[in-house]
Every structure is written in C-alpha cells, then in structure tokens.
Structure 1
Amino acid sequence: MKRKIGVAVIGLGPASLPHSKSLIDLSERVDVRWAVSRTAGRATAFAGQFAFPVTTDLDAVLADPTVEAVIVLTPPSSHLDVSARCLAAGKHVLVEKPLELTSERGQRLVDAARQAGKVFGVVLQHRFRPASVRLKAAIDGGELGTIEAAFLSVPWWRPQAYYDEPGRGTLARDGGGVLLTQAIHSLDLFRSLVGISRVVAAQVRTTALHRMETEDYVSALLEIGNGAPATLVTTTAAYPGHPERIEIIGTKGFAALIGGRLHLAFLDGRNEVVEAEGSTGSGANIMDFPHDAHRAVIADFLDAIEQDRDPVVTGEEALASQRLVDDILGNARQTGR
C-alpha cells in the first residue's frame, strides 16, 4: 500500500464539492488534514457535508508538517498570493482554473512554483475525460489523418442571478467573462488537441441577456498548428444551456466530441463511440456534472508528487491557454469588434 499524502483544501465555495468527493474516493492515497475557509460560517456549513477537519487559520495549516500538498479553490484574484504562500511553506500546489486574473500574474505564479521546486498543477479537468483522452490519442496517432479544419462551440447558459453574486463576471474577481471563466476548460482542451498558431479575427460582446462587466459572447476565426482554419464560438447566453462541442475534420475521418461523448467516423467505414459520463454544467446549475474528471486530475497530481514529475496540466500549459484568451480578446479590441 502506498503511503498517504497529507492534503489541505483551501477555499470552501462551490468548487470544493467535486474536489471533496474526489478526495473521499481517493482516501486510500490521501489524508485530508484540513479544509480551510476565511469565514467561520462557510467552514461550519462545509463541516456539515464532509467529515474533514475545518479551520479558518491558514497560517496554522501551512505550518503543519503533515500537510504536504494543498488544493487551492479560492477566487482567481487570490491564486497568486495564496499559492505563493503555500509554495514558500514547502507545499505542492494544485490550483483551480483560471490560473490567475491576468497572464502577467499567472506568469509570476508559474515562476514561483518553478523556483520552489514543488509540483504545481492546474485544474483543467476536461483533458481527463475518457472521450478527450481517446480523441487526443486518435489525433496524435494519425488515425484522423491531417487535420483540415476544426470547430469549438460552448453554448452555455448562466442566469442573471449568477452574475448578481458579488464579484461574478468582474475583472477584479474573475479576470474575465465567458472565455476565461466558463469556456477555458474547452478552450484548453481544444488547444491541447490541435494547437493554435494565430488569431485571425474575433468578436466580443455582452448581450442584452446579462448585466455584467465582462463579456458573455465571443467568436473567433483561428489558425491551428498546421495552418488549417478553426472557428470558436462561446457564450453563457444560450438558454437553457447545451453541451460544449469540438469537431475535427481530418483526411481520414471526422471527430465530434459533444460534452463527454465522442463519435469517431472514419472514411474506411469504421465508427467508434465513447459514451459520456454525465452532464457538463452547461446550464443554470453550475455543479451539474460528475466528479470523475476532477478525481483523475487529483490522482495525476498525487502521481506527480510520488514520481517527482510534472502533472499533465502544468502551470505553463494553463498559462498558454490564458494567453490565447488574451490574444482573442486583444484582437477584438484592436479591430473594435
């Protein structure tokens, strides 16, 4: 039996639900020493759901030698400060998406992790879905041939009540709108599959369906790594919310990844389907998805600690996806769209 790794969870908002369920599933590998919130009320509410020790004293947690790793689930605006404190205390860090409010702050966090010499990963769990893993293998193995075109669509829905919560959809708390906060998972997966070499054109707006500071609709024309065209459309104004979709046209076949379900259709007549594991959180209930992929992210993080290697989604990988967000939004600003 492997030794258990002492873990602390920092931040007990909605994101703590799939992580906590995952840690329970991984109880043979982890010992959850603490669950931390800066507010006593949230800590008490969390303790009513999960049998983890709770505290509001982060300093005490970071001083605890039995805590080897932390999972940071605080708002994006605090990721650099909280994670840097954890790294300085000698802890390995897994941080929720997005990496930080800005790419500049994200770069500082990545640099801090490398300088500390600790394992540092980012929660971009769509890469770990079975269908995503199979699609990447098909692309990397040449099963689809040369990619001739690709398409990403994220037609999600968030009600106004979601954005009425303090800080939601603001630059100060979230760093951005649909592209950085909701679509980042699909955008990161898309980039990891096909690569993005250039943003050709982009359009960004806030629709009349929402009152918010940042955008709820983005479309873009892109070039993928081999120069082929790609199209992106993301929104949180598509009521009642629909599964995200990645489509890839290859010289040997076609791939459609819809939510967590993959259909591969090859020109030689073969077909393959990888079924979805559940919903994707595309509608008003933002936590309406299974925690399987989160469990896989945490398992990979634990493996990385034990094997002294990088996790699948490193800080550099997350930063590359965040810089793509910058490029898309920057293109729209430059052209006034």
Structure 2
Amino acid sequence: MSAIKTWNFGIIGCGTVADFHIAAINQIEGARLAAVSSRNADKARAIAEWEQCDWTSDYKTLIGRSDIDIVCLTTSSGSHARIGLDVLNAGKHLIVEKPIAMNSADAALLVRTAKERGVKLSVISQRRFEAQHQAVKRVLEEGALGKLLLAEVSLPFYRSQAYYDSADWRGTLAEDGGALMNQGIHSIDLLLWFAGEARTVFGQVATQTHVMEAEDLGLAIIQFKSGAFGTIMASTSIQPGFPASLHLYGEKGTIKLEGTSIVHWTVPGRDEPKWIHSGAYGGVSDPRSIAADLHQSQLIDVLTAIETGVEPLVTGEDGLRAVQLVEMIYASAAQGVRLTVGGSGQPDPR
C-alpha cells in the first residue's frame, strides 16, 4: 500500500485569518504547514515557533521554496492580486481569502494566470460547505423548486468604529471594501451559486454610521440570466448584529435560511433535512468568532481537485463573478442607473 502524499502548505499573512487556515491544515491527514511569512517578523517567528515550522519576513522567499506545494494567502484584501500573481507565477497552487481581488480586472488576471501556469486557484467561500447550503444546492439542481422567481440576501451585521480604526487600511475602497466587498461577499457568492450568473444590477450604497471611505450599507436589485430576480442588503451598522439570511422563492415552493438554520422548507416531494446541524453562526459582530472546520472542508476539496485534476467546488472564476457583481453595484450606485453585468458600464436599455 502506497504512503499518503504529504502536501506542504505555506501561509502568507499572519493576522487573525491565518489562524483558521493553520487550524484547518493541522487537522488534515497528509497536510503539513511548512512555512509562514509576514512583514512583521515577530508575528511570523512566534507562529513558527508554536507550529514548529519555518518562517520568513519576505513572502518571495517562501514561494521560492521547492518544497511548498500550496499557498494560503491571508493578507489584507488589497494585496491579494499583487501577491497572488507572484504565487501563481511561482507555480504554486493558491488558496486566497475572500475577496479574490478588489476589482474584476485583477481577478481576471489571476484566473488567467492560474490556467496558464497549470495550477489550481480557489477563493475561500467556506459557507458553500455548510450542510444546509449543500442540501439547498441539490434541491435546486434537481429542479424541485421549479422555476426560481426571487432570491433575497440580507446581511445585517455590526462593526464598531474601533474595528475600522484598528488598521489604516480598514474601510478603504482600495484595500478593504465595505459591507458588500468584505462582509457581504460570502452571501453574494451563495446567491450566485444558487441563482446563477447576474445579467443586470441596480445598486445603492451609503456610509451612515461610520467614519470611513467605503459603504456600511449596500443595496441591490439583480436580474439573473435565468430571468429570476434577486435582492441584496449588506450592512455593518445594524446593532447588535444578526445572522445573514437567504430566501429562495420558486414556482413550486420556498426555502428560507438564516445563519446555519433552515427556518422554512416548502419543497414538494422533499422532506426538510432534519439531520442538518452546521454549528453556531459566527462573525455577526466579531469577525474572529467563526470556526475552522469549514476552512478545513474547503482545503480538503482543493487537495482532492489537485489530486484528481477536477475543478474545486469554489474556483477562481467564482471569485471573479462575485467581485464583478460588487463592482457593478458600486458603478450603478455612482451613475444612478441599472447596468448590465460584464457589459460596457453604460446604462442597461431594457
């Protein structure tokens, strides 16, 4: 019997998010944390000593190592495109935290480079791996809801001013994004996964309760290529903060999700999956209050994709579509018109 291959991981970025990746790697058979990198040498050294791995303050040293197979990129959002491109050009598989990039042009470049280099690219969208979302996806693929009519996303989160003041990049459009690009991107990914690609968008954004550049409230009306409609509300101003919800209305029934729970299930011929329990829902008012088990599921999925040659459940293209939709919401809000997603940026004539 052949031995299990050991996959050597490197992590670039030693902030809070890296902790979830480290915990996930440590729980995967055949995975090993080989090295970490941070501009803050003290942080990198401390993690390396605890994890008994190597460290560097220069990420290019990490990606130049021949023993690193996969890189988890957990730096601030605005650096994802620049560092991610270096990782891919070094021939390493890349798992990048959300969002994949801050604009669709950079995201598309990452996707194209991964294909050219023959490596896997996946963006962290770990909520796809929650049991209730997996069950809903199966129902939609089987057509049990019939024609999808409307999909509603609501993300009434809360972040304090101190959260945005904790780093100079927080709340900036170039480095962080607002309620849509930062907090709302997970729900937007699920919306596109369930409803398909967006065709048109009309958006509004506002900064109501925080001193920052980006929005703390984002709203959008979407029409999907299927003909279905969708709505998005994402905020970091709602006290005390509530779990995200996603409601799906089809011609034959309705599914309502809140946090990790199914709160309504009317699906002809399909019993509500009572066995589902995805654990506590986190991140409502504290971005650190999430578990690492879903990161573990996504990392395992990427390893399986590498080993079998298939695409991971969450691809670079998926990350691109989510960023593109947020970008178009911003553009629509700025122009005050409905826009075609992926179009010229001109008003939609319909």
Measured against the shorter chain, the TM-score band is over 0.9
1: CA distance, partners of 2:170 / 2:101? 15
Q: Kindly provide the CA deviation profile for residues 125-174 of structure 1, in whole angstroms up to 9, marking residues without a partner as x.
A: 11111111111111111122221222110111111011112110102312
Shift of 1:311: 1.4
Map 1:87-126 onto structure 2 (within 5 A).
87-126=88-127
Map 1:61-80 onto structure 2 (within 5 A).
61-80=62-81
Shift of 1:50: 3.7
Letter of the 1:252 partner, please give it.
K
Residue 296 of structure 1 aligns to a residue in which SS?
A: helix
Map 1:106-185 onto structure 2 (within 5 A).
106-164=107-165, 165-174=167-176, 176-185=177-186
TM-score, normalised by the number of residues in structure 1: 0.93
Shift of 1:247: 0.5
Contact 1:259 / 1:276 at 8 angstroms: preserved in 2? no
Change (3 A) 1:163 1:65: same
Shift of 1:269: 9.0
Is 1:42 paired with 2:46? no
Shift of 1:185: 0.6
Map 1:222-233 onto structure 2 (within 5 A).
222-233=222-233
Shift of 1:217: 0.3
| Aligned mate of 1:21, from 15, 20, 23 | 23
Q: Which runs of 4+ in 1 moved over 6 A?
A: none
The 10-residue stretch of structure 1 (8-17 or 59-68) with the greater mean CA deviation from structure 2: 59-68
Shift of 1:198: 3.2
Shift of 1:62: 2.2
Change (3 A) 1:80 1:265: same
Q: Kindly provide the CA deviation profile for residues 258-306 of structure 1, in whole angstroms up to 9, marking residues without a partner as x.
A: 11222422356943343332122111x2111111211111111111111
Change (3 A) 1:130 1:51: farther
Letter of the 2:328 partner, please give it.
D
Q: Kindly provide the CA deviation profile for residues 73-103 of structure 1, in whole angstroms up to 9, marking residues without a partner as x.
A: 1112222222222222221111111111211
2: CA distance, partners of 1:323 / 1:145? 28
Partner of 2:6: 4
Is 1:245 paired with 2:240? no
Residue 271 of structure 1 aligns to a residue in which SS?
A: coil
The 10-residue stretch of structure 1 (300-309 or 182-191) with the greater mean CA deviation from structure 2: 300-309
2: CA distance, partners of 1:306 / 1:151? 37
Contact 2:145 / 2:268 at 8 angstroms: preserved in 1? no
2: CA distance, partners of 1:223 / 1:201? 9
Letter of the 1:228 partner, please give it.
A
The 10-residue stretch of structure 1 (63-72 or 327-336) with the greater mean CA deviation from structure 2: 327-336
2: CA distance, partners of 1:5 / 1:42? 24
Shift of 1:49: 5.2
| Aligned mate of 1:277, from 272, 279, 285 | 279
Contact 1:135 / 1:262 at 8 angstroms: preserved in 2? no
2: CA distance, partners of 1:9 / 1:282? 26
Shift of 1:7: 1.1
Is 1:211 paired with 2:214? no
Shift of 1:231: 1.6
2: CA distance, partners of 1:55 / 1:269? 53
Give the count of matched residue pairs: 333
2: CA distance, partners of 1:48 / 1:63? 21
Is 1:317 paired with 2:340? no
2: CA distance, partners of 1:48 / 1:157? 35
Contact 1:87 / 1:112 at 8 angstroms: preserved in 2? yes
Shift of 1:107: 1.4
Residue 101 of structure 1 aligns to a residue in which SS?
A: coil
1: CA distance, partners of 2:175 / 2:66? 31
1: CA distance, partners of 2:272 / 2:333? 39
**Percentage of pairs with the same residue:** 32
Change (3 A) 1:34 1:201: same
Shift of 1:61: 2.1
Letter of the 1:12 partner, please give it.
C
